[in-house]
Amino acid sequence: MTETDALKHQLEESTGNDYNCCYQCGKCTAGCPAGGVMDNPPARIMRLVQAGYVEDALRSDALWYCLGCMTCTSRCPQNLDIAATMDSLRAMALEKNIVSEERSKKLVTAFHVSFLKNVRKHGRLQELSLVNSYKLRTRTFLQDAVPGVKMITQGKINPMHTLTGKGGIKGKDQIEKIFLASEEESHSPAPKRRPKKKEFVENAPLSVKPGMTIGYYPGCSLDGTAQEYGISVKKMCSLLGLNLREIEDWNCCGATSAHATNHKLSLLLPARNQVLAEAQGLDIVLAPCAACQNRQVTTRKALMESEALRREVHSITGIEPACTTQFIGVTQLLEAMDPEEIKKRVKKPLTGLNLACYYGCLLVRPMEDMGFDDPENPDKMEAIVSALGASPVDWAFKIECCGAGLTLAQQDLVEDLTHKIARNAAANGAEAFVVACPLCQANLDMRQESMIKRFGDVKPMPVYYISELVAIACGAAPSEVAVGKHFVPALELVSKF
């Protein structure tokens, strides 16, 4: 077997794809939010692999612009996992040092390296330490200096944690075992994918009632840069009569850097949270961050399908995975409550507030794993907003990617994407966005000022977490849910209720 054949076989094993099934329809490239800046957009990458030019694919700048939104995979008529191809090629390029020399690659690689080294050291991401490491690697010292100072003064970032190491976990020995195990060969080949008609099958909704205690996985940002999300989620649950119990000694799930560079690591990190939750008797766990929830849901499925993965997790943690705990997002939590229960708790209807419900990528993709809402035209967030008395607008960009975790490494691309999103929302009458993900909120909110300066054809638009709006509608003052900590001023619009 030649080296080229070996590389192609490795891709087939890691993705489950039969690349001969690709007939170059171009739907993956047509829907790719970053396709316009790629040297080899998704369809061309697939053709390079299909034709045996794997090393050309490995050298592509496209790998470092890929956002991991999974639009390509979700729309492929042949059921090929194109997103997994991009991830696997990126991991192979790093492993073999067959990489693009463009600045895009260097910036993205610096972010992922800084991210994972931080998690390996602390078990949880310390955001200021991550930013410092990234800036030292890239010499981008002035980038985000003003927003950074604002977050420090608001208490979103605590410099003392960087100096003292506070905020780490107890089970750091298990985290080190996870990283060592991730350097070994993967557990088993990915299941073979075959062409099939894709149909969305919705999961049976859960039932959550007032008085229940459910688990809580805040992830690394809800006590930091997304502090207002964490505050509002807790206040919302209190007003809805729900009790939250945080998973003891939880660790970072690795989103998005583990997923982008090491498939095995992207499973082992969230798998530890899965077994900790099970051992602590938590059947349902609220994970407000869409990226965190996505990693936990896909990992649970992988655990159910792979005995080898379950054995490895048991050897690392000492806990036998039972795969019983379900991780849900805020929108799922609200859906799981009786709509009438929410309506009767609304004290201050948000009447007359026109909102663009923004789902982003990871709440609905991959649809066969998430099983929550229509991956092309979701509407469950609109139902909740309507129950609060607000008016959701009908618009076209509710699932378009905002740039996800590349906000530091690809700021221009993030501004391009958020500009398109904001322009469409405004054109359809929206006064504000409502989101359920800290990555989406950061890109739409923190990047909005520079985006407006660059394009000049949209006006500032507040970006609310859905938990903030639920809490306010149920009687909380906007100050109680930290709405004043947003970058785009957001207090005035909700203070009238």
For the stretch 132-165, pLDDT in tens is: 999 999 988 788 888 888 888 888 877 766 555 5
pLDDT at 463: 98
- Measured between its terminal Cα atoms, the distance across the chain in Å is 69
Across the range 385-395, mean pLDDT stands at 97
Q: How many other C-beta atoms are found inside a 10 Å radius of the C-beta of residue 111?
A: 25
pLDDT band (50, 70, 90) for residue 193: very high
pLDDT band (50, 70, 90) for residue 365: very high
Residue 79: name the closest of 188, 190, 4, 185 by CA.
Answer: 190
Q: Are the beta carbons of 319 and 275 closer than 8 angstroms? A: yes
pLDDT band (50, 70, 90) for residue 1: low
Across the range 375-403, mean pLDDT stands at 96
Across the range 451-474, mean pLDDT stands at 97
Q: Are the beta carbons of 190 and 84 closer than 8 angstroms? A: yes
Q: How far is CA 370 from CA 70, 201, 301, in A?
A: 12, 10, 10
Alpha carbon distance 204, 10 (integer Å): 36
User: Is-same-fold flag (213-330; 340-495)?
Assistant: no
From 184-188, 257-261, 380-384, the region with the lowest mean pLDDT: 184-188
Q: Are the beta carbons of 115 and 71 closer than 8 angstroms? A: no
Determine if the peptide bond prior to 270 is cis (ω within 30°): no
Alpha carbon distance 343, 337 (integer Å): 10
pLDDT at 189: 85
Determine if the peptide bond prior to 256 is cis (ω within 30°): yes
Phi (first) and psi of residue 474, to 5 degrees: -90, 10
Distance of CA 41 to the CA centre of its chain: 22
Across the range 314-334, mean pLDDT stands at 97
Residues 6+ apart with CB under 8 A from 238: none
Across the range 199-218, mean pLDDT stands at 93
What's the sign of the alpha-carbon dihedral 245, 249, 252, 258? negative
> Which segments of 190-262 does DSSP mark as H helices, in order?
227-239, 257-261
Alpha carbon distance 406, 443 (integer Å): 9
Q: Which two tokens stand for residue 202?
A: 């919705």
Alpha carbon distance 255, 252 (integer Å): 8
Alpha carbon distance 215, 328 (integer Å): 10
CATH assignment, 3-96? 1.10.1060.10
pLDDT at 241: 96
pLDDT band (50, 70, 90) for residue 453: very high
Length of the chain equals 497
Share of the chain above pLDDT 70, in %: 98
- 213-330 CATH fold: Glutathione S-transferase Yfyf (Class Pi); Chain A, domain 2 (1.20.1050)
pLDDT at 160: 67
Q: Are the beta carbons of 454 and 412 closer than 8 angstroms? A: no
Q: Are the beta carbons of 406 and 367 closer than 8 angstroms? A: no
Q: Which two tokens stand for residue 450?
A: 């520079």
pTM of the model: 0.96
pLDDT at 244 exceeding the cut of 80? yes
pLDDT at 97 exceeding the cut of 60? yes
pLDDT at 19 exceeding the cut of 80? yes
pLDDT at 83 exceeding the cut of 90? yes
pLDDT band (50, 70, 90) for residue 308: very high
Could you identify the residue written with the tokens 């206040």?
235
pLDDT at 104: 85
Q: What ranges do the domains of the chain cover?
A: 3-96, 103-182, 213-330, 340-495
Alpha carbon distance 172, 284 (integer Å): 25
Q: Is 44 helix (H, G, I), strand (E, B) or coil?
A: helix
Residue 233: name the closest of 250, 216, 247, 210 by CA.
Answer: 216
pLDDT at 164: 54
Average pLDDT of the chain is 94
Across the range 209-225, mean pLDDT stands at 95
Alpha carbon distance 37, 484 (integer Å): 36
CATH assignment, 340-495? 3.40.50.11810
Alpha carbon distance 172, 219 (integer Å): 16
Q: Averaging pLDDT over each range in 121-135, 152-166, 309-323, which range is the top one?
A: 309-323
